[in-house]
Amino acid sequence: MSRGENEAIVDRLARERVVEVGIGRRTDVANALAERGTAVVATDVHPREVPEVVEFVIDDVVSPTRSVYEGADLLYALNLPPELHRPARDVARAVGAEFRFTTLGGDGPAIPADQRNVGGETLYAPAERGGP
């Protein structure tokens, strides 16, 4: 993600408290959000190094520890594989948070979702109604 795309995504994701699902090795968005004053928790199924301003928790969104996500205004995921779209959406719904995500390469969303072009990236939001 280029600096311009990063800034546009950060503008769209900034809230009081967010959780990044599956941070992987790319910490630039989480770091930028934290530098803007957003409280950021990053999760992954593997241990990851994250900037000091980002809290890290090992968790699997398929079998989540609900307390990790409670109190978040937004859950987001970047380059989220299709098999995780539904579980991540379901966790967000369960804790009353919004959910935004980008997909891998040419993958489309595996859940009903609205899309918006944000700085050269396609950012998806689950449709309010439709689908299980």
CA distance linking residue 81 with residue 101, whole number of Å: 10
- Identify the CATH assignment for 3-126 out of 3.30.470.20, 3.40.50.150, 1.10.3720.10, 1.10.10.10: 3.40.50.150
Strands 54-58 and 39-44: parallel
Q: What is the mean pLDDT of the chain?
A: 93
Task: Say what the pLDDT of residue 3 is.
Answer: 59
| pLDDT tens digits along 25-69 | 999 999 999 999 999 999 999 999 999 999 999 999 999 999 999
Give the 3-state secondary structure of the chain: CCHHHHHHHHHHHCCCEEEECCCCCCCHHHHHHHHCCCEEEEEECCCCCCCCCEEEEECCCCCCCHHHHCCCCEEEEEEECHHHHHHHHHHHHHHCCEEEEEECCCCCCCCCEEEEEECCEEEEEECCCCCC
Q: Domain residue spans in the chain?
A: 3-126
Confidence of residue 131 (pLDDT cuts 50, 70, 90): very low
